[in-house]
Amino acid sequence: MAEVELGQAVLPAYKNTLPIPHSTIPPRSSTSYTPMGSYTGLDEAEQRLLVLDVNEDENENESSSEVKIQIRDLSKVSDKSVPILSKVNVDIPRGVIMGVIGPSGSGKSTFLRALNRLWEPPSKTVFLDGKDICDLDVLGLRRRVGMLFQLPALFEGTVADNIRYGPQLKGKKLSDNEVYKLLTLADLDSTFFSKSGGELSVGQAQRVALARTLANEPEVLLLDEPTSALDPISTQNIEDVLVKLKKERGMTIVMVSHSIKQIQRIADVVCLLVSGEIVEILKPDKLSEAKHPMALRFLQLSN
């Protein structure tokens, strides 16, 4: 069992537990790290360490104790100077599913989109394997950090055309066999190979979109409410695939969801975002222990 410690008070220790592989990451100043924001309702004892046990046996991945993505003092203000994200600091361990929940408008999508530069974060705020993502080739980054949205948008052509699209941009033509393997990985049978996007249900199209993303062999998957438009069976299919990708490939997954139950089913750790700030980082089965008043209210109303 590797101990992964998360939370305001523990991050320095967490940093020790999860070695930072490169020296390009700026140290966090003691005053700048404020994941609990201006909320001062907790006394010191209550701001106790949150120790998360990430079961290495479950992850079947030797490097699961490393940090995959580090976020340091990530802030964003709107054109009208309204804060959208405020000094977000979090380490996302490799090979875990991190759920991101919070009220509508709290900045979840903005946060997610910064991680593959759909929104360009300031330099030295987001690091992938210790490297500032702003220094990476943006298309290369998006191959490594794939994204799925709420509604899948397939290109014209067949399912196979869609799946071949990403590798083709790099000059690689996937064989039929490779396409079949990706279909299987996304829990679709071989009959989908030559179907067109218009013949698919939203749930099936979402799995094709997942297969298309997986064709790029990403290391990280960003999911923005990927199952909110799906029926319970399609939702379960996608959840099963995500858990498999984590367990068998050590994939790191960051998933925004409005479903607390979904987060509790598949996430290893949950970030609670309120008004652009990470106010709590908890294990999914400890959500009821959230202390921040807004987070608590959100959780109570969501259940």
Ligand X SMILES: Nc1ncnc2c1ncn2[C@@H]1O[C@H](COP(=O)(O)OP(=O)(O)OP(=O)(O)O)[C@@H](O)[C@H]1O
Task: Kindly list the residues in this chain that would bind Mg ion in the complex (CB under 5 A).
Answer: 109
Q: Is 284 in the site for ligand X (CB under 6 A)?
A: no
**Number of residue whose CB is nearest Mg ion:** 109
Using the rule CB under 6 A, give the single segment among 38-46, 107-115, 201-209, 215-223 that binds ligand X.
Answer: 107-115
With CB cut-offs between 5 and 8 Å by kind, which of Mg ion, ligand X, none does residue 78 bind? ligand X
Distance CA 198, CA 192 (A): 12
Site string for ligand X, 46-85 (x = CB under 6 A): --------------------------------xx----x-
Nearer to Mg ion (CB atom), residue 109 or residue 252 = 109
Min CB(118)–Mg ion separation in Å = 12
End-to-end CA distance of the chain: 31
Query: How many Cβ atoms sit within 10 Å of the Cβ of residue 136?
Result: 17
Nearer to ligand X (CB atom), residue 68 or residue 108 = 108
Nearer to ligand X (CB atom), residue 35 or residue 197 = 35
With CB cut-offs between 5 and 8 Å by kind, which of ligand X, Mg ion, none does residue 197 bind? none
Min CB(252)–ligand X separation in Å = 20
Min CB(78)–ligand X separation in Å = 4
Residue from 70, 89, 106, 262 binding ligand X (CB under 6 A): 106
Distance CA 87, CA 50 (A): 20
Distance CA 114, CA 164 (A): 26
Query: Token pair for residue 110?
Result: 């903005």
Residue from 86, 110, 237, 257 binding ligand X (CB under 6 A): 110
Min CB(275)–ligand X separation in Å = 9
Nearer to ligand X (CB atom), residue 99 or residue 102 = 102
Residue from 105, 140, 157, 293 binding ligand X (CB under 6 A): 105
With CB cut-offs between 5 and 8 Å by kind, which of ligand X, Mg ion, none does residue 44 bind? none
Beta bridge partners of 74: 88
Contacts of residue 301, defined as CB under 8 A and 6 or more positions apart, other chains included, come to none
Using the rule CB under 6 A, give the single segment among 56-64, 106-114, 163-171, 179-187 that binds ligand X.
Answer: 106-114
Cβ contact 75:83 at 8 Å = yes
Min CB(18)–ligand X separation in Å = 27
Min CB(106)–Mg ion separation in Å = 9
Min CB(90)–Mg ion separation in Å = 17
Q: What does the binding site for ligand X look like in residue numbers (CB under 6 A)?
A: 78-79, 84, 102, 104-110
